[in-house]
Each structure stands twice: as C-alpha cells, then as structure tokens.
C-alpha cells in the first residue's frame, strides 16, 4: 500500500488504490529470463536482416507429411501433397529460427542449409525473420509486469499481423478463412512476400529498440 506522499509522486490522488512493481523480487525470480531476452534482442538487432527465406519453413513442416503425422490435418494444401513437396525441393531452404525448424518433418531437416538449435539460438536469430519478429510479443509477455502494458500490446498487434501473413504464404488453402494466398512458388509471390517481410522488419526494429530500452533498468549488471 502506498501512502499519500508516494501516491502523489506517481500522480495519483490521496486514497487511490495502486499496485507497485517490486523490482528486486522480480529479478530474484526472473533473472535468467531477463538476461536471455536481452541477449536475444540485442544479438538479433546487431545482425543483418535476411530476406531470402520466402516463408518456406511452413512448407518444410508438411514435406512428405503422408509418411508422418499430418500437421493441421483439417486444412487442405493449395497445391496438393506432390505439388507442395516439389516447391520444397525446387527452392533453397535456409530457416534460421529454431522454433520454426523444430517442426520440420524428418525428411525436410537435411534440406535446411542452416542447423538452428536451442543452444545456438542466440547466435542465429536475425531481424528479417518473421518468427523472430513475432517473438517480440513472447519476450514482452514473459517479462510482465516489468514492462509497460502498451509496449506489450504493440508487440502483440505486430505479431498478429505477421502471423496472418505467415499463413497467407503457407502451403495451406485459407482463402475461405479470409486469407488469400501469397503464392511464394511464383516470382510475383516471392516479391510480395519480401515486400511484407521488409515492412514488418522495420516495425519490429523499432519495437526491439523499445524493448531493449525497457529492459535496461532490469539488467542484473545495473542492480
């Protein structure tokens, strides 16, 4: 409970109900999360953005899926199983994000030019990646209540829009769900994908900077 002087210091009238953030207790409980989020955010921001993946991670997740458990079995593939597999085989697959790569079918793993893992995640993530930019919401949410709510919601809103585009570029037929396809199997579709990807990367860069700034007072080295 805050006394009237403390309430006045934060711009609240006497007798107001207020909740305070216990920084010391938060850091005692979430020290590792703060450190890891800071490493990921700053490392990602420092690397050059890559814009040549064309969302093929979603296609690799269903490559030769008839041999394995079906992913999203309630959805139809736009090009059918054979057509989907051909897109994977005809393109370079170079996903840098472990939390996308780990859902590849076993036959697709060897096709990826990179080998992201949880251990090398801090060295692999880059700011052009849709999943790295969606993850801004993950880091913001994980660090509540230490971060401003408006920042968390800004990260959520961007993540939602990125995910919608991610699904438009996927192999699934989602037109009836209100998501017309971005046909990344075509030259025009690849160009459209990169245009969206660059715009999202610019928005994410600003949010990543805001997150890093909000994390600065929480970093253990500054306690």
pLDDT digits (tens, 9 = 90+) for 57-112: 999 999 998 887 666 777 899 999 999 999 999 999 999 999 999 999 999 999 99
What is the distance between the alpha carbons of residues 76 and 181, in angstroms, rounded to a whole number? 13
- With a cut of 60, say whether residue 179 has pLDDT above it: yes
CB crowding 88-99: b at 16 or more within 10 Å, else e: beebebebbbbb
Question: What's the confidence (pLDDT) of residue 200?
Answer: 98
pLDDT greater at residue 137 or residue 73? 137
| Mean of all residue pLDDT scores within the chain | 92
Question: What's the confidence (pLDDT) of residue 223?
Answer: 39
The residue among 154, 153, 143 whose CA lies nearest residue 21 is: 143
Cα distances (angstroms) measured from residue 167 to each of 14, 70, 146: 50, 17, 31
pLDDT digits (tens, 9 = 90+) for 22-46: 888 999 999 999 999 999 999 999 9
Whether pTM > 0.95 for this model: the answer is no
The mean pLDDT of 169-177, rounded to a whole number, is 96
- With a cut of 70, say whether residue 156 has pLDDT above it: yes
- With a cut of 70, say whether residue 220 has pLDDT above it: no
- With a cut of 90, say whether residue 114 has pLDDT above it: yes
Question: What's the confidence (pLDDT) of residue 180?
Answer: 97
Question: What's the confidence (pLDDT) of residue 71?
Answer: 67
Q: How many angstroms from the chain centroid is the CA of residue 161?
A: 11
Question: What's the confidence (pLDDT) of residue 66?
Answer: 83
What are 17's two structure tokens?
Answer: 């109900």
Question: What's the confidence (pLDDT) of residue 221?
Answer: 54
């Amino acid at each position: 409970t805050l006394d009237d002087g403390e309430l006045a210091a934060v711009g609240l009238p006497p007798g107001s109900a207020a909740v305070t953030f216990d920084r010391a207790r938060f850091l005692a409980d979430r020290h590792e999360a703060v450190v890891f989020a800071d490493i990921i955010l700053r490392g990602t921001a420092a690397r050059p953005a890559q814009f040549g993946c064309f969302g093929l991670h979603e296609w690799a997740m269903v490559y030769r899926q008839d041999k394995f458990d079906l992913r999203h079995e309630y959805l139809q593939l736009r090009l059918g199983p054979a057509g989907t597999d051909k897109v994977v085989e005809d393109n370079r697959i170079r996903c840098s994000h472990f939390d996308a790569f780990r859902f590849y079918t076993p036959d697709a793993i060897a096709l990826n030019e990179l080998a992201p893992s949880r251990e090398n995640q801090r060295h692999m993530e880059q700011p052009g990646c849709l999943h790295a930019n969606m993850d801004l919401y993950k880091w913001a949410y994980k660090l509540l209540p230490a971060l401003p709510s408006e920042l968390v919601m800004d990260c959520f809103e961007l993540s939602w829009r990125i995910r919608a585009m991610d699904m438009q570029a996927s192999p699934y037929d989602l037109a009836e769900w209100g998501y017309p396809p971005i046909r990344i199997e075509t030259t025009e579709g690849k160009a459209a994908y990169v245009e969206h990807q660059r715009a999202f990367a610019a928005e994410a860069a600003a949010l990543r900077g805001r997150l890093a700034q909000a994390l600065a007072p929480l970093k253990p080295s500054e306690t």
